[in-house]
Structure 1
Amino acid sequence: MQCVWTLSLLQLVALWANAAVLTENGLPILWDQAPSQLSDLPQADNVVTINPWNSLQRMSLYRILVGSTDKYMASMGTNDSASPLWGLPLQLAWKLRSGRLVDPTGATTCGQEGDPMCISTNSWWACVNYYLSVIPFLAAVQKGLIGDGLIQVQVQAPAEAAEDSCTSYTDCSAKYPDLMAKWEEFFQTLKDVSASEISDFEKRDQILGAFWAGESLSLNTASSSCKAKMSYYSSPEVAFAKSWMNAADYVAAAYFQSSLNNSVLFMGPLPSRVLQEGDSAPNIADLSTEENHTLYIFGWMNRMNTILLGSPVKMWRSAMCSDKSREKGRELLQNLILDPKFAVSTFVSILTEMTRSCSGLST
C-alpha cells in the first residue's frame, strides 16, 4: 500500500511540475530571511512589537510558531516538515507570490515593486490570513509554547485596520474570545497528546482534529470580518475566494495533514495571479492547465454546495465519521483536485457510498 501511495505521489509531482513556485531551498519564500526567535523581533523594556502588515514579520510569526512546536509533533512523521502548521506559512507564500497581498484598490503602492514587503490592509486575502497568523501566535505565547513568559507581545494595528485588528493577547481575546479559546485548546491538546501513552496514529488524529477546528473557526471569523473588502475585487476573484473558503470545509473535515510537502503539492496549482473580469476557467489563457483545473473544480464544488443549499458539505462532514473514512476522504480530495482525469461523477458516487457506510455505523 505504501509503495502505491509513493508512486502516486511521484506521478502527481510530475503532473504539477509547472505549478507556481512557493518555496526557496525547499522552504516557504521569505523563510530564511524571517526572524526565527521571539528575541529577534523589535523589542524594548521586555515588550516585543510585531508588525503583521509586513510580509517578513508575518512570516516570522510562522517560523517561530513552527520551531516552537516541533518537539510536540513527533507523532506527525519522522522529520520536522510533517507538522500541519506548515500549511499556514505556505498559504502566506502563495498569497504573496500571486499578488494577493497588494492593495487591490490601487490607491497605494503597498505590496508593489517599490514596497514589496507591505501587506495591504485593503486586501481581503491579507485580512483572512490575519486570523490565521496573529491569533494562533498570541495563543501559543499565552500557553507557554513561545517565549519564557517574561516578554510581552504587542501587535501593531494601523489606524485604517484598527476595527478588525487587535494589539495584544488581552485585546484579541476580548474581540474574538471563541477564536482565541479554540487556538489555545489546540496548543493545549498538542502538549497533552504528545505526552500521552496512546498510539501515534491516535495522537495524529487528535492533533489534526484540534488544528482544523482552530483553522476552520479562523476562516469563519474572517469570512464575516473581512467581507467588506471583497468589493475591491473582480467578480471572478470574488467567486474564487468564496470557492476557496468552501474547499477549506472539505479539507478540514478530512483532517488533511498539511505538512510541508503536502501543502506544496496542494497549493502549487492555485492561481498565480489575481483574477480579472473576463477570466473563466478552465479557459484562462495565461494560467496553466493545472491552475485552470483547480479553479474549475473549486468553482464546481462551490456551485453545487450553493445550489443544493449546503447539503454537499454536510454530506461530506457526515462521511468523515472515522479515521479510516477521513483517510479515504483525503485520497478522494487529492484525486479530485490534482488529477484532471478524475471525473466529478466518480467523486459524487464514492462520497454517496461513504455517507451510507457512516450512516450504517451510527445505527
Structure 2
Amino acid sequence: MLRPAVLGLLLTCAATLCSSAVVPEQTVSLLFAQTAGDLNEFPKQGETVVVNPWHYLHRMSMNRLMIASTAPFMGSMGPNPSDGCMWGLPMQLSWLLNSGRLADPTGQTTCGVETENRMCISPNSWWACQNYFVSVIPFLCAAEQGMLGAGVTIQMENPDGFGDYCSTYADCSAKYPEVVAKWDAFYQGLKASVDSTLPDNEKKDALLGLFWDGQMTSMRTAAVCKDKQSSYYPVETSFANNWMISAEYVAGARFHFNLENAVMFAAPMPTRLLKEGDNPPDIADLTPEENHTLTTFSWINRIDKALLGKLVDLWHRAMCSVSTREKGRDMMVQLMLNPAYATDNFVSIITEMIINC
C-alpha cells in the first residue's frame, strides 16, 4: 500500500503537471521549482553551457530538461507530460538525496551532509557515480541530438583526480562509445517515431526498448565505480548489487516508468544507508514496505545464484514479445509491491512464458 504522502503526491501531480513538466515543490523533494527550466539558466563560458553535476540542483535540472524536451515525442506513452518514460531518473536521484546515498561515504568531507552541505553530491559515492552514467551521458547525448536546441555545447565541471567521469559529448564518446551510441539511438528513435505508422502499443514498446538499452548500457558501464563500494558496510554493498541485478528484470520487461509508476517503485526503497546489524525483513526503523523491498531484492539474487546465474537469462528469453513483456511488467509490480505474491511460482511462470515464445 502506498503511504498517504505518496498518494497525495500523485494527486497533486495529476492536478498541476503542465506541458513544461513543472512539478510542485512538495513532490518527494524533487525540488523541480528550484531547478533550471531552460539552458539559459546555467552559467556560460563563451557559448558553452557549464553544468556542475556534483550539485543536486544541477543534476536534477538535467533530468527535468530531458523530460521536457522528450515529452513532445512521447505521445504513444500517453496523453500527459507525466506519461513519458524518463520519470524514473529524477525519482531515483531524489531517493538517493533523501536517503543520504549521495553523501561522501568516506567521511573525509562534509559533502552531502544534511546539516552542512546537503546539495553537494560526492564523487566518492558509489551511488552518485552509478547515477552519473544515467544522468550526465544521456543529457550530453540529448544536446548532441538537438533535443535541447540547435548548436548547443555543454561542458561538465568534474573534480580533479576522478578520471572515470567524462565532461563533454566528445569526451564521453571516446571513453564510453557504446553508452553514447545507445543514447543517441534512443533520441533518434524518438524523433523518427513521429512519422511511424506502428500502433501506439508497438511504438511504445519499441521506444521503451531503446530507452532501456541506453539505461542498462549505462548501468553496466558503471562497473568502473566498483571500488567506491569499499566505503560502505557489507549489507549496503549487498543491497547495491542486488539493486543492480533487479534492474535487469525491470529492463527486460521494458517497464514504463511514467511519473505514477516511478513514485510507486520509489516509495518502498530504504530511506537510509544500511549499516552493520541490519537484517531484513527485521530492520526496526524501516517500514514493512522497505523491509519487503530489501528481502525481495535479496531473494531474486539468491535464486539467480542457485540457478548458476541463469535466471536473468531465462527472464530475458521470456520477454520475447509485446504481450509477454506486458505480463512481465505485471509480474514485477506484484513481486516488488505485493508482499502476498507467491514468489515460489516465479520460476515456473517464467518457464511457461518461455515455452510460449
TM-score w.r.t. length of structure 2: 0.93
User: What do residues 105-151 of structure 1 show as CA deviations (whole Å, max 9, x unaligned)?
Assistant: 111100012111100011000000000011000101111111221x3
* 1:78 Cα deviation from its structure 2 partner: 1.5
Question: Which residue number corresponds to residue 300 of structure 1?
Answer: 299
Contact 1:123–1:229 under 8 Å retained in 2: yes
Instruction: Tell me, in whole angstroms, the C-alpha distance in 2 between the residues paired with 1:310 and 1:19.
Output: 35
**For structure 2, which runs of at least 5 residues remain unmatched after alignment?**
10-23
Question: Which residue number corresponds to residue 326 of structure 2?
Answer: 327
Instruction: Tell me, in whole angstroms, the C-alpha distance in 2 between the residues paired with 1:28 and 1:177.
Output: 33
Aligned runs of 1:198-237 on 2, under 5 Å? Answer: 198-222=198-222, 224-237=223-236
* 1:26 Cα deviation from its structure 2 partner: 4.2
SS of 2:340 mapped into structure 1: coil
Question: Which residue number corresponds to residue 5 of structure 1?
Answer: none
Aligned runs of 1:150-299 on 2, under 5 Å? Answer: 151-161=152-162, 163-222=163-222, 224-299=223-298
Question: Which residue number corresponds to residue 355 of structure 1?
Answer: 354
* 1:201 Cα deviation from its structure 2 partner: 1.0
Contact 2:6–2:263 under 8 Å retained in 1: no
Question: Which residue number corresponds to residue 40 of structure 2?
Answer: 39
Instruction: Tell me, in whole angstroms, the C-alpha distance in 2 between the residues paired with 1:160 and 1:90.
Output: 29
Contact 2:28–2:94 under 8 Å retained in 1: no
User: What do residues 25-61 of structure 1 show as CA deviations (whole Å, max 9, x unaligned)?
Assistant: 4476111110011111111311110000000000000
- Structure 1 counterpart of 2:354, which letter? T
- Structure 2 counterpart of 1:130, which letter? Y
Question: Which residue number corresponds to residue 315 of structure 2?
Answer: 316
* 1:348 Cα deviation from its structure 2 partner: 2.5
User: What do residues 140-190 of structure 1 show as CA deviations (whole Å, max 9, x unaligned)?
Assistant: 1111111221x31111110132x1111211111111111101100010011
Instruction: Tell me, in whole angstroms, the C-alpha distance in 2 between the residues paired with 1:21 and 1:311.
Output: 40
Instruction: Tell me, in whole angstroms, the C-alpha distance in 1 between the residues paired with 2:178 and 2:282.
Output: 42
Contact 1:20–1:268 under 8 Å retained in 2: no
Question: Which residue number corresponds to residue 88 of structure 1?
Answer: 89
Q: Percent identity?
A: 48
Cα distance change, pair 237–333 in 1 and its aligned pair in 2 (3 A): same
* 1:252 Cα deviation from its structure 2 partner: 0.1
SS of 1:64 mapped into structure 2: helix
Cα distance change, pair 28–78 in 1 and its aligned pair in 2 (3 A): farther
Question: Which residue number corresponds to residue 13 of structure 2?
Answer: none
Instruction: Tell me, in whole angstroms, the C-alpha distance in 1 between the residues paired with 2:188 and 2:28.
Output: 27
**For structure 1, which runs of at least 5 residues remain unmatched after alignment?**
1-11, 359-363
Instruction: Tell me, in whole angstroms, the C-alpha distance in 2 between the residues paired with 1:259 and 1:301.
Output: 24
Farther-moved stretch of structure 1 (280-289 vs 197-206): 197-206
Aligned residues: 342
* 1:194 Cα deviation from its structure 2 partner: 2.5
- Structure 2 counterpart of 1:172, which letter? C
Instruction: Tell me, in whole angstroms, the C-alpha distance in 2 between the residues paired with 1:274 and 1:24.
Output: 25
SS of 1:85 mapped into structure 2: coil
Contact 1:68–1:146 under 8 Å retained in 2: yes
* 2:93 is equivalent to residue 101 of structure 1: no
- Structure 1 counterpart of 2:188, which letter? Q
TM-score w.r.t. length of structure 1: 0.91
Query: Runs ≥4 in structure 1, deviation > 4 angstroms?
Result: 16-24
Q: Bigger relative contact order, structure 1 or 2, given CA contacts below 8 A and separation 6+?
A: 1
* 1:202 Cα deviation from its structure 2 partner: 1.4
Question: Which residue number corresponds to residue 51 of structure 1?
Answer: 52
Cα distance change, pair 21–280 in 1 and its aligned pair in 2 (3 A): farther
Cα distance change, pair 294–18 in 1 and its aligned pair in 2 (3 A): farther
* 1:24 Cα deviation from its structure 2 partner: 4.2
Contact 1:52–1:155 under 8 Å retained in 2: yes
